Amino acid sequence: MDLKKEIREIADYPKEGISFKDITTLFKNRDAVRYVTESIYHGFKDKGITKVVGLEARGFVFGGAVANQLNAGFVPIRKRGKLPSEILQETYELEYGSDVVEMHADALSNEDIVLIHDDLLATGGTAVAALKLAQKCGVKQIYFSFICDLEFIDTPNKQLLRDYETQVLVKYN
């Protein structure tokens, strides 16, 4: 399936010079949703995943579905101030600013094998923040999945992620 046809591109959003990849249009196509979910599942079904970590907000959609298929738990990583209990947090840089993400402190343990999922890999800042949160919990193994990778953006964060098994469904060069 050509997922690029299902992903809307919006020029100059959220600021001039950025070509935003909007996967919410992909959600409308049940065949595309099934394809993405099945592709991620098949890429990780034999890895022993115990928790899928989804990054706010679009990472929740497929993260939850894949966790269900993998018979794993789901852990949300949220923007600052959205979680009600004791949290761990990481500050990260992204292509148009900086932000903070948080995870419940008791969400992961040293027994977990984790799949971190997000819709888009741009600078890698959010993914590395999620990685650091998982590492603080001492998890056994970490994998990554992304729907899209903006390969033309090369950063130290993305170079760090090369040390981890990663699945990408759509690449933009």
pLDDT for the residue 14: 83
Active site residue 58: yes
pLDDT at 16 over 80: yes
pLDDT for the residue 17: 87
Nearest-angstrom CA–CA distance, 5 and 87 = 38
Tens of pLDDT, residues 72-130: 999 999 999 999 999 999 999 766 678 999 999 999 999 999 999 999 999 899 999 99
Nearest-angstrom CA–CA distance, 164 and 157 = 12
Ordered by start, the domain boundaries in the chain are: 48-172
- Indicate the SS3 state at residue 123: coil
Nearest-angstrom CA–CA distance, 126 and 103 = 13
Q: 48-172: which CATH architecture?
A: 3-Layer(aba) Sandwich (3.40)
Nearest-angstrom CA–CA distance, 57 and 54 = 8
* pTM tops 0.85, yes or no: yes
Tens of pLDDT, residues 125-171: 999 999 999 999 999 999 999 999 999 999 999 999 999 999 999 99
Q: Give the Cβ contact number of residue 164 at 10 Å.
A: 13
Nearest-angstrom CA–CA distance, 23 and 154 = 22
Active site residue 80: no
Tens of pLDDT, residues 37-84: 999 999 999 999 999 999 999 999 999 999 999 999 999 999 999 999
CA atoms within 13 A on the CB side of 25: 11
pLDDT for the residue 147: 98
Catalytic annotation, pick one of 6, 58, 78, 90: 58
Catalytic annotation, pick one of 16, 38, 95, 162: 95
pLDDT for the residue 103: 98
Taking each helix axis from N to C terminus, what angle separates 30-44 and 58-70, rounded to the nearest 10 degrees? 60
